[in-house]
Structure 1
Amino acid sequence: MKWTTANVRHANYTAKHELFVGTHTGSFKHLVPASENTPYRQSNLSDLAALDKDSRVTALAFSNEAATEILLGRAKNTAEVHSFVQGVSSNKVVTFNAAPIVGLARYNDKLIAGIGNGQIQTISLDTDDETEPVVITTGDQIDHLRQCPQVRGIVATGGKERQNNLKVYDLSSDSKQIFSSKNLPNDYLQLEVPVWDSDIGFVDGPNVLATCSRIGYVRLYDTRKQRRPVACFASEEHGMSFTTLVARGNFIYTGTTMGALKAFDTRRMKTHVHTYKGFTGGISDLHLDVTGQYLSSASLDRYVRIHHSESTVLLYQCYVKSKATKILIRQLENASADRKLEEEAEVEIENNVKPQKNIKATHVDNEYEDLFNQMATVGDSDNDSEGKGGSATTQSEGKLKRKYLRQSLKPTKKKM
């Protein structure tokens, strides 16, 4: 697909997806690219009249594996819990003690928020009474908080400067810190290598993590081996200032401030393996679907896009009128149900239809049969042909000869 600024959907894009987009103005939008009639229609899920200059969406995440609840954080000290169950949506607002909210997670009945001042605050969602949140100090500044999808009791934080580097906490054991990264050795001038973990991602489990930096590096950590990175990509190329990251399997997908979206292979981090095109502004957020084949992105050029992660083809692009800051992609609620019903119907049809035997029916040509019935018997006398007599043996032989002649002269069909 050629570069374009129009709303487009690739002809081969048949997946049933829906998008949730947070913007710079604070609006929270819902799009359904799978819709045949209105793939670019946008509906607002938040109250536009209550938005102000501090309502910018700074955090967006699913709170459970079923993706039926969305956590939304803003540049101010409020967070929203949006629930979508069987087509019915509900919204709950939670207030924290500080701002901005840079990451949200839910563990059991508690809402965990990463605050830009370096704190992790926890509030219980069970009680409606306003209670003081539990505060954990990770440093003096963090840029992002991420929750492990496989072990939801594990969260990671990262920020600027060495004291705010990558840290991992276990919420199931009194929020104990279980890992803290260590910087690379000093450079050849014996100067400290600068650290800025702008985003974090868990790589298929709680033990392997990836970080990207505004300084231009992508690092891979294994908490079971060592505190320093086990693999690293560093570039001094202009425009390689990474803002966001998402990881799955052996691949790490990163976006930059200059609108470059690249994929790295964790088995060989010397250079990128894929480049995704179509951007004219900085990439603010990335998210993969459950299959890992579709990569959604939010960009400051006011577009949201979906690329195929392996072929790098641009499948979907939509203009959302505001600078997109956060994005989520998920399977439509009724898509999996419809597919299940289709499979059950196919099985039922196969069980009800009984195999039939192939019976070859021989076509009878009446005109052809009458022709042989009117023919005289070969070898009969004139009296016999007139029906005046004749032995039974002669008549039997005549019938056999007539039958043989009919079978030998009958036309046969040619096999194609």
Structure 2
Amino acid sequence: MPDPDAGRAQTGQLPMALEGIRVVDLTQVMSGPFCTMVLADLGADVIKVENPDHGDQTRKSWGRSVVGDDSRAFLSLNRNKRSVVLDLKGDQDRETFMTLARTADVVIENFRPGVARRLGVDYDAVRAVNPGIVYASISGFGQTGPYASYPGYDLIAQAMTGIMSVTGETGRPPVKSAIPVADLGSGLFCAIGILAALRVREATGTGQYLETSLFDSALALSVWESTEFWSTGEPPVPLGSANRMSAPYQALETRDGYLTVGANNQRLWQRLCAVLEAPDLLTDPRFADNDHRMANRLELVEELQRVLASRDTDEWVTALLDAGVPAGPIRDYRQVLTEDEHVRARQMVTSYRHPVEGETSVLGSPLKLSATPVRSAAPAPLLGQHTQEVLAELVRRDVHVEEGPA
């Protein structure tokens, strides 16, 4: 890695939040790579260990590739990392991995339960050579329990945790959340767990094992749905874009499209009626308070859309925001990623120059740290791009390692 201290003395810049933390990353596809991308953005040295034959599954078999062989799915999740190729089924490469693990602060894997142990790279094996290691596992259903051996896919986790039973519209077939909440949620929860474990190690010198799963993470995000069930005794049903706790809080149709309105308390309801110039809604007993509006949601939507049909989305959004009513247009990703001034102002689209793909757009980090900002995006690595570099670093650290793969 380039010397992170270069130029820092002159500028007085602080180190990045996780600078000096080395993460050995055995993960692939989405949940683990998303977790380690967050850590890499914060300054951790993430060394991605990949199979020399094909690497991360997303390199070639997920999504679209544009110029080279690596898919845009891989390029979007693996910035700021280094790639080392090791065949963990071979004795020599496994020993090289263990040598690398001796230098690590964190090891993370997302194999199916039992695979890491069969390969000889599980927590017990790594702890034997590095007692202070923080070792993290992400799996589909956890390391224990009757579902532990099930294959781990976001779709299956969404189905089995109830998410698909409440997504979509009443009376329609079940649909999954378009955003893979189980994959991304488990990655985020794992990152939080790693940071907590590093804090404990800093205070006590003790490493530890942590795990999460797509199933646990998806269920943990089901806050309102579980609350509704425990409150009523009835399983929640799909509500489309509506909210389980208040109304109106959903998408509504206008003359030329759709907007979202969040009038989730009585004060905002009164302001909404004023903007709509519909005082009759305020006196209608069906909509007297939130409980009544929830009970008569379909009639409420019908009344609101009857008024909203008279003007375009942007006109209504401007009027509602001017009155202090939370509102926003529904946009597609072309509008969001290429036209939205706020997206640009928040630096939520960035790019890096890839040696094969050229200029490659990726999403920016949502983390805005004032004193230790996240690092600028560096290209996702080519397969094995940093193998010799990392092995040379091990030699410089006086850690013996046999000649590794090219």
TM-score by length of 1: 0.30
Structure richer in helix, relative to its length: 2
Larger Rg: 1
- The structure, 1 or 2, with the larger RCO (C-alpha pairs under 8 Å, 6+ apart) is 2
